[in-house]
Amino acid sequence: MQHTVLNLPGSGLSLRADAYGDEHAHPVIFLHGTAQSRRAWIAAAKKVAESGYRGITVDLRGHGDSEWSAAGDYDVEAFTRDVECLLAWARQPVTLVGASRGGQAAFIAASRFPQQVRLVVLADVVPRSERSGISHIYTFLNQSLDGFADVDEAADALAVLSNQPRAQDASGLRKVMREGANGRWFWQWDPACARPEFMAPPAEILLMEEAARQMRCPTVLVRGTHSDLVTLESVQQFKALLPDLMVVEAVGQGHMFTGDVNDTFATSLHDYLERFSKL
């Protein structure tokens, strides 16, 4: 594993990334969702590296070890600009894999620069997400702003958000949290990311829909069958805009799945990489 600090012209911020595998192999860039970090994609990046690809996990602006925006610039266009800078940095066609906010930014950037993207793989991302699911995430973000008494309390909140059983040993969360001066524990993301204007505003939906109409890259949607954001109806709406969209179901998974916990996603990613990355 190689740790990299990316000072991207045009972004204005330094982003942190980890790379796995042969540096000359086809790059697969993994982008996480709001309130996550590059660590969410470690296992998936290692798996693609084992298959002969270059797995690159990136902390989005305001997340993990990347810089925070002094201006609080965290709308989807800001994240998309960063992905566009990543495409220029790679200097060769890439595969983009994105969850939630990272998926939106990947999708919009790929629609604008199709010659630089071989494949887009979306983990539970559609133009029109269910409002009830968005509200669920917003509740979690707001709950997190005041921090947690300890990592066990944070694990309880995370289990509710992901609708998955709570980990018996929550000590591993220390890697993705920071202890504040007041002794409370906070996730490693800028609180400004939780501002209500960033929670699926109409302009964001229009950007995603326009990207779908313009998309020329092969696109795969992996949908969690238990997702509270991506429903069958929202998938059909997506396909109406992008008829060539390929859809795979991650059975029994909710919105917060990533490649390190979902066999269906990992298998689908490998299959589509073999099919499209060598074109």
> Same domain, yes or no, for 209 and 82?
yes
Q: Which two tokens stand for residue 173?
A: 């969360």
- Look at residues 168, 193, 218 and tell me which one is the last residue of a structural domain: 193
Res. 119: pLDDT tops 60: yes
More confident call, 58 vs 264: 58
- Look at residues 173, 193, 213 and tell me which one is the last residue of a structural domain: 193
pLDDT at 25: 96
Compute the average pLDDT of residues 209-214.
98
> Same domain, yes or no, for 104 and 203?
yes
CA separation for the pair 90, 88 (Å, rounded): 6
pLDDT at 255: 62
Res. 181: pLDDT tops 70: yes
Q: What is the mean pLDDT of the chain?
A: 91
The answer to whether the CB of 121 falls within 8 A of the CB of 95 is yes
Res. 260: pLDDT tops 60: no
> CA 59 from chain center: how many Å?
9
Place of tokens 């296992």: 43
CA separation for the pair 146, 128 (Å, rounded): 30
> Same domain, yes or no, for 189 and 74?
no
Compute the average pLDDT of residues 164-178.
86
Q: Give 155's contacts (C-beta < 8 A, 6+ positions apart).
A: 166, 167, 170, 173
Compute the average pLDDT of residues 155-169.
83
Q: How many CB atoms lie within 10 A of CB 39?
A: 19
- Look at residues 144, 160, 193 and tell me which one is the last residue of a structural domain: 193
> Same domain, yes or no, for 102 and 228?
yes
> Same domain, yes or no, for 19 and 94?
yes
Res. 251: pLDDT tops 80: no
> Same domain, yes or no, for 103 and 140?
no
- At residue 256 the predicted structure's pLDDT band, cuts being 50, 70 and 90, is low
CATH number at residue 75: 3.40.50.1820
> Same domain, yes or no, for 185 and 71?
no
The answer to whether the CB of 158 falls within 8 A of the CB of 269 is no
Encode pLDDT of 91-115 as tens digits.
999 999 999 999 999 999 999 999 9
pTM of the predicted protein model: 0.94
Q: What residues are paired with 222 via a beta bridge?
A: 123, 248
**In a 3-state reduction of DSSP, which class is residue 52?**
coil
Proportion of the chain above pLDDT 70, given as a percent: 96
> Same domain, yes or no, for 145 and 229?
no
> Same domain, yes or no, for 56 and 114?
yes
Taking CA atoms, 32 is separated from 38, 58, 61, 64, 144, in Å, by 6, 8, 11, 10, 18
- At residue 265 the predicted structure's pLDDT band, cuts being 50, 70 and 90, is confident
**In a 3-state reduction of DSSP, which class is residue 120?**
strand
Taking CA atoms, 196 is separated from 19, 74, 120, 143, 201, in Å, by 33, 11, 28, 13, 9
Compute the average pLDDT of residues 53-80.
96
> Same domain, yes or no, for 62 and 182?
no
Compute the average pLDDT of residues 227-252.
92
The answer to whether the CB of 26 falls within 8 A of the CB of 117 is no
pLDDT at 137: 87
> Same domain, yes or no, for 166 and 225?
no
> Same domain, yes or no, for 164 and 113?
no
Res. 10: pLDDT tops 90: no
pLDDT at 60: 97
Task: Tally the domains of the chain.
Answer: 2
Q: Which two tokens stand for residue 98?
A: 């994105």
Counting Cβ atoms within 10 Å, is residue 34 exposed (0-12), middle (13-18) or buried (19+)? buried
The answer to whether the CB of 125 falls within 8 A of the CB of 221 is yes
Domain of 183 in residue numbering reads as 133-193
pLDDT at 26: 97
pLDDT at 262: 56
Res. 202: pLDDT tops 70: yes
pLDDT at 264: 67
Q: Give 248's contacts (C-beta < 8 A, 6+ positions apart).
A: 220, 221, 222, 223, 264, 265, 268
Angle, vertex CA 43, rays to CA 41 and CA 46, nearest 5? 105
